[in-house]
Structure 1
Amino acid sequence: MDTGMEIPEYQLFIHPSVVSELRKDIWIDDPVNAKLTINKKKYEIEIAYRGSHIRDLRKKSYNLSFYKPGMYRNAKEYHLNAEFMDPSLLRNKLSFDFFNEIGCLSPKSRFVYMKINGKNEGLYLEIESVDEFFLANRQLPKGSIFYAVDGDANFSLMSHLDKEAKKSLNLGYEKKYGTEHSDAQLQEMIINVNTISREEFEHEIVKYVNVDKYLRWLAGVIFTQNFDGFVHNYALYRNGETGLFEVIPWDYDATWGRDVNGEIMREDYLRIEGFNTLTARILDVKTFRTQYKNLLEEILNSKFNVDYMKPKIQGMHVLLRPYVLKDPYEKGNIETFDKEPDFISTYIEARGNYIRSQLDTLD
């Protein structure tokens, strides 16, 4: 990473009366009008709070939608994450970049520094929205996109939340982009995941799921140890040309050795076989299991090791540090922030050793 680069400053103006309305009810989802200045260029936008449990935190996260002009950096919408529970502030970006490097579709992200009505709000991670522009920017075929919004996005006929048969197979998903046929295509995939016979599964599932891409996503979840990643924290993209589904990671701050509350997560907390119905069925096939084992070994040797990752971690840390010292919510935590690169490197070493010790279970 080029540590000499500067982080762009976002100057946001929200009418004081609107700010008061927002603060009265943090759970409101309706966006409000605002003005945003970036590099002296002005944009009219809509802004809303984002997230669930994170709305209770002092530093809020936001969705930004551009409408005058209607696009910014080839996108209509961005997410600004406060990363307030991550003492390093960099786990989400580190994860998205890692997923991209191991061959998964993954959102682009960058750090920005935000002021609201002249007041410092500090560092944010700007994350690309997974939508039709996400596809267009990668010259990918049009297709449907679903967000996994709760634990019922478990690829099962049974609810993860109440342990009963689902009333609808669309439970757990929110359609972000698609046609009137998209819901039926999602349901068809879930039905087949659950009903194809064991004998036919290896040859039939490849008509619905891009198995290579799924195994790469599974490996990414396992290495970063995102415990929620199997039934939540992802998007589904159905390629309109191939008809195959693949998974895109989302919300990966609770990773690299820390959980959703920022507490230490042991390196052996998450088993390498992962969870959810589709994962279990794919890894039940010896051919796929061997493919997955070889993929884990390849990534351990090439990407998930301290020699490869440490320069990336240190580069991000050096880039962020001057801005952390200006961030009203983070500057008091600078000692912890400075220890995080070593903490993450220690996690990588320990997690890598654990995964190596478990590879034989995939034989």
Structure 2
Amino acid sequence: MNSAAKIPQYKLFINPIDLRELKRDIWIDDPIPAQLKLDGKRLEIDLSYRGSHIRDYIKKSYQISFYKPSLFKGSKQIHLNAEFKDPSLIRNKLSFDFFSELGVLSPQSQHVLLTLNGKVEGVYLEIESVDQHFLRRRNLTTGSIFYAVDGDANFSLMSDLDKELKKSLELGYERKFGIASDDYYLQEFIIKINTIPVPEFEREIPKYVDVDKYLRWIAGIIFTSNYDGFVHNYALYRNGESGLFEVIPWDYDATWGRDVNGKVMEANYVPIEGFNTLTARLLDVRNFRKQYRTLLEEIMNHQFTIEFIIPKVENLHQSIRPYVLQDPYKNQAIDQFDQEIYVISNYIEERREYLYRKLVKLI
């Protein structure tokens, strides 16, 4: 194995009694104490399972909070994703890196080899937590962060879940960072999205959201085809200085031609105009629609091409392949892993054809 291709090795140690407690009920969020050895250091941590439906998978995903020291490399918390339904194990990282190329705030991530009490658990994706430390590392103004936790994070007054008027404008969101009074700004934002009169919308909405960054986020969803991305799988950050909201992507394994179950997704499945209330209102404005179309064309000429993406896919594939062979949950599917380069390549070609046909809708 080429030493330059090595990925970090994370070694978890859990007392067998605590491990039994963790496995007793996979839906309990209470953490257990554990140790994590990495970079030659042994760290005291709190550990729990993470995710919703993914907890049912045989290969678990974890949330780690650093206890002693309380911060490690500037982070209080990290996530270790099993990427169990993604045959390539790279779609999440490929997406986050792609969003960054588009100028969208995105979590940093890296593949690691995880062992638990000496037993290889396989290849995981370590993902940076989106919190106050995320802002600090980027020298961003402190502000509030809200996680979109379900389909009610649709920028609408109507519930996406029961199709009725929301009982609270905070439905669908969980404040990750900030104070209680920050909830007011989220409520105001959603009210304004839905009540600014059409003649005033183009002038007024830029007072609440960074329109350029929002359109870049929508473009990222469109190119990666994250079906849930418009009403879920994101965090809202309100810049405390400018007062503007922008969106941070999250959970992008069901992308690049595969759905949440790992099945091949048709390249035309996610519409070019997206969906959610804010996107619909923005694209109803001719100037914003033109700005969006120009942005899509620029990305299709530069970032969303076989020439730009596939070398990145190949590099990620080559860097983790020796470790996928050690992964007890994935090593029997190495042939499929090897074919994923072609699945992603075919997706890019077919998605480009679809988007070129649909650009006319954005005139």
Output the TM-score relative to the length of structure 2: 0.99
Question: 1:39-188, aligned counterparts within 5 Å?
Answer: 39-188=39-188
SS for the counterpart of 1:228 is: coil
Letter in 1 for 2:198: R
User: What is the alpha-carbon distance in structure 1 between the residues aligned to residue 179 and residue 286 of structure 2?
Assistant: 36
Matched, 1:226 2:226: yes
Retained in 2: the 8 A contact 1:3–1:318? no
Percent of aligned pairs sharing the same letter: 63
CA displacement at 1:308 relative to structure 2: 0.7
SS for the counterpart of 1:199 is: helix
Matched, 1:20 2:20: yes
CA displacement at 1:180 relative to structure 2: 2.5
Letter in 2 for 1:353: E
User: What is the alpha-carbon distance in structure 2 between the residues aligned to residue 130 and residue 237 of structure 1?
Assistant: 9
Match of 2:358 in 1: 358
Between 69-78 and 281-290, the greater mean CA deviation after superposition: 69-78
Deviations 1:145-199 (A, max 9, x none): 0000000000000000000000100000000001222100000000000000000
Between 171-180 and 189-198, the greater mean CA deviation after superposition: 171-180
Letter in 2 for 1:261: N
User: What is the alpha-carbon distance in structure 1 between the residues aligned to residue 118 and residue 5 of structure 2?
Assistant: 23
Retained in 2: the 8 A contact 1:31–1:48? yes
User: What is the alpha-carbon distance in structure 1 between the residues aligned to residue 4 and residue 201 of structure 2?
Assistant: 51
Matched, 1:240 2:229: no
CA displacement at 1:66 relative to structure 2: 0.3
Question: 1:232-311, aligned counterparts within 5 Å?
Answer: 232-311=232-311
Matched, 1:337 2:337: yes
User: What is the alpha-carbon distance in structure 1 between the residues aligned to residue 274 and residue 59 of structure 2?
Assistant: 32
Letter in 1 for 2:245: F
Letter in 2 for 1:15: N
SS for the counterpart of 1:229 is: coil
SS for the counterpart of 1:145 is: strand
Question: 1:187-202, aligned counterparts within 5 Å?
Answer: 187-202=187-202
User: What is the alpha-carbon distance in structure 2 between the residues aligned to residue 21 and residue 131 of structure 1?
Assistant: 28
SS for the counterpart of 2:185 is: helix
CA displacement at 1:3 relative to structure 2: 9.1
Retained in 2: the 8 A contact 1:114–1:121? yes
Letter in 1 for 2:84: F
User: What is the alpha-carbon distance in structure 2 between the residues aligned to residue 207 and residue 46 of structure 1?
Assistant: 40
- Structure 1 runs of 4+ aligned residues shifted over 3 Å read none
User: What is the alpha-carbon distance in structure 2 between the residues aligned to residue 362 and residue 3 of structure 1?
Assistant: 49
Deviations 1:3-28 (A, max 9, x none): 93311111111110111111111101
Letter in 2 for 1:91: R
Match of 2:7 in 1: 7
CA displacement at 1:342 relative to structure 2: 1.1
User: What is the alpha-carbon distance in structure 1 between the residues aligned to residue 302 and residue 194 of structure 2?
Assistant: 35
SS for the counterpart of 2:151 is: coil
SS for the counterpart of 1:200 is: helix
Retained in 2: the 8 A contact 1:44–1:69? yes
Letter in 2 for 1:184: Y
Letter in 2 for 1:167: K
Output the TM-score relative to the length of structure 1: 0.99
Between 300-309 and 2-11, the greater mean CA deviation after superposition: 2-11
User: What is the alpha-carbon distance in structure 1 between the residues aligned to residue 354 and residue 73 of structure 2?
Assistant: 41
SS for the counterpart of 1:33 is: strand
Between 71-80 and 194-203, the greater mean CA deviation after superposition: 71-80
Matched, 1:325 2:319: no
SS for the counterpart of 2:336 is: helix
User: What is the alpha-carbon distance in structure 1 between the residues aligned to residue 234 and residue 245 of structure 2?
Assistant: 12
Retained in 2: the 8 A contact 1:47–1:63? yes
CA displacement at 1:314 relative to structure 2: 0.2
Retained in 2: the 8 A contact 1:3–1:315? no
Retained in 2: the 8 A contact 1:12–1:117? yes
Please provide the CA RMSD for this pair: 0.9
Q: For structure 1, which runs of at least 5 residues remain unmatched after alignment?
A: none
SS for the counterpart of 1:266 is: coil
Deviations 1:253-287 (A, max 9, x none): 00000000000000000110000000000000000
CA displacement at 1:31 relative to structure 2: 0.7
Matched, 1:38 2:38: yes
SS for the counterpart of 1:47 is: strand
User: What is the alpha-carbon distance in structure 2 between the residues aligned to residue 160 and residue 305 of structure 1?
Assistant: 34
Deviations 1:308-347 (A, max 9, x none): 1110000000001000000111100000000001110110
SS for the counterpart of 2:63 is: strand
